[in-house]
A and B are shown apart, each in its own frame.
Chain A
Amino acid sequence: MEITVTLITGRTAEQGVGKEIGKLSERYQRSVNYILLNPGDAERIGVGEGEAVEVSTLHGSTRVWCKLSEDIEAGMAFIPLGPWANRLFDPETHGTGIPSVKGVEAKIRKAEGEPPTLEELLRELKG
């Protein structure tokens, strides 16, 4: 089962606090390695709070932990900007210098396996 959502990115206060402890700190990683889903949407794909989901767009995919909130309406999802989210976005800026990172269509399903760790992301990046 898979759902299609409109993905919104942004910053959070918790991310700011974690970032200032350190980008490699556990608290920072926890603050950006998740996606916020509406509980109804999560139920449709059979995932609960704290389980892993696979998020994919036309431009890439990532695995992150699932958080549930009634504050996010069905059909939308929020993911904090960071090293997990940046795999989802098109670098095309249409001549403006800025990529589209808000209002992007994404598909979400239950993931096989856990999200990658920061070290794994780094290893992959270095190729």
Chain B
Amino acid sequence: MPVYRSVVCPFCGCLCDDLEVTVEDNRIVKVRNGCAISTSKFLHHHENRVEKPLIDGESATLEEAVKEAAEILKSARRPLIYGLSSTECGAIAKAIELAELIGGVIDNTASVCHGPTILALQTLGESKCTLGTVRNRADLIIYWGCNPLEAHLRHLTRYSAMARGLYTSGGRKDRYVVAVDVRETRMKRVADLFVKVKPGGDYELLSALRAVVRGYGLDVDEVSGVPRDVILELAERMKKSRFGAIFFGLGLTQSEGRHMNIEAAIGLVADLNHHTKFVLIPMRGHYNVAGANTVTTWQTGYPYAVDFSRGYPRYNPGEYTAVDLLSRGEADAALIIASDPVAHLPYKAARRLAEIPTIVLDPKRSMTSMIGRVVIPTAAAGIEAEGTAYRMDGIPIRLKKLMEPPEGVLPDAEILSLIIEEVMG
């Protein structure tokens, strides 16, 4: 039975590429090196599948479903294409082609995760490096508003706190680890220093750290619930490190301040680069959300929230982003690719998807597929289809095809090509 080595895990932005997957009779029977989530993904990928194309809940042929999808998109005045973070780059490129063709809006799930990060990076730029560089060099690692023990399970051991690298051969003991969060997560047990910040207080804390790094004193006892001494000590430790890295998550982007929090973090890192080498890396969630931003930028000039209604791309987060377009009741049809917005967007936006004709492309059943007017099953990228995905640090990695998809089931890119052909007539 075939054992595939160096398999890339298509779950989170770590894109771990050292898995060994055993396939027997077109079924995955064993996964080595995967985390709990990765193992679950590979071993259960055949369960809860969308088994055949559906129109209004009734079985249909692929041709009928594609025709119906094309009709919906052609007749819509303000169609939205959304999702794309859990599929490969070829499908994302096709989705953009379709958005241009129908004069629609295309957005990806970055708009509800690291969208504010992108807004801040566009304003100020970024100091970054690959995860390999962090592994080999970083002697100070700060996790701010993120919890890799819950969301990026092998990050600590493969790339950061525990990893052994070229100049960090001692692994964990060669690094000082800091976690900043609004609540005491399990990261407290991993970190040398756990800093508890008041909810909504990140901007002030980052600004206080900037002030101290720049040589100003602090004439207050605490900032955002963090004692003055802790801030002074952390700032000193940052300046004295050989190579520092801040990994940050949705604790910064989804709370009060949003992109302003990230701007403060970028500013802190820029200030620290006057003293030592310091970088900032977002903990991207879905395995190819970074690819969705990258491909959308190649093709339209913008990373998400792109409107083609005038025939050329326009960019405006807050206006062309999925939550806004749906909750305003503006979108009158939707195509959702490899995503489950009905389960995750605020209820008003989710409800709009149930009111309008929604087309869903997904390997598995979900809340979104359950409300879809047209549902088309797809091959799971990285398991049943190959393609490229971008790691959280912007490194493209080729996903492998390990087995055949169920009979008659095609990859996202091929289904999107069929819809494009049908729309073009």
Seen from chain A, the residues whose Cβ lies within 8 Å of a Cβ on chain B are 6, 8-13, 16-18, 20-25, 59-60, 71-73, 76, 78, 81-83, 86-87, 89-103, 118, 121-122, 125-127
Contacts and interface: CB of A to CB of B under 8 A. Distances in A.
Given A10-B147, A16-B37, A98-B116, A83 B367 contact: yes
A86 to B, nearest CB: 5
Interface stretch (B208-216, B267-275, B338-346): B338-346
Interface stretch (B126-134, B249-257, B397-405): B249-257
A96 B112 contact: no
Interface string B166-197: 00000000000000001111000000000000
Contact of A97 (B48, B199, B324, B366): B324
B303 to A, nearest CB: 11
Contacts of A76: 182-183, 199
Given A17-B40, A60-B347, A100-B254, 5 more contacts: A20-B41, A76-B199, A94-B258, A97-B112, A98-B112
B343 A82 contact: yes
A78 B251 CA distance: 13
From A23, A59, A100, residue with most partner B Cβ within 10 Å: A23
A101 B113 CA distance: 11
Contact of A96 (B116, B200, B342): B116
A13 B185 contact: no
A94 B254 CA distance: 12
A59 to B, nearest CB: 7
B346 A89 contact: yes
A20 to B, nearest CB: 4
Interface string B118-130: 0100000000000
Contacts of B222: none
B95 to A, nearest CB: 18
Contacts of A95: 317-319
25 contacts: A8-B199, A10-B250, A12-B150, A16-B12, A17-B40, A18-B40, A20-B41, A23-B343, A23-B365, A25-B48, A71-B185, A83-B343, A86-B343, A91-B346, A91-B347, A92-B327, A93-B324, A95-B319, A96-B318, A97-B107, A97-B305, A98-B111, A122-B367, A125-B354, A126-B354
A91 to B, nearest CB: 4
Nearest to B47: A22
Interface string B337-363: 000101111111111001100000000
Nearest to B153: A13
Interface in B312-335: 317-319, 321-324, 326-327
Contacts of A11: 150-151, 285
A102 B147 CA distance: 14
Contacts of B319: 95
A86 B343 CA distance: 7
B367 A87 contact: no
A96 B258 contact: yes
B258 A98 contact: yes
A9 B150 CA distance: 13
Contacts of B344: 81-83, 86
B1 interface: no
A11 B418 CA distance: 35
Nearest to B251: A102
A23 B317 contact: no
A102 to B, nearest CB: 4
From B185, B340, B370, residue with most partner A Cβ within 10 Å: B370
B149 interface: yes
B220 interface: no
A102 B180 CA distance: 15
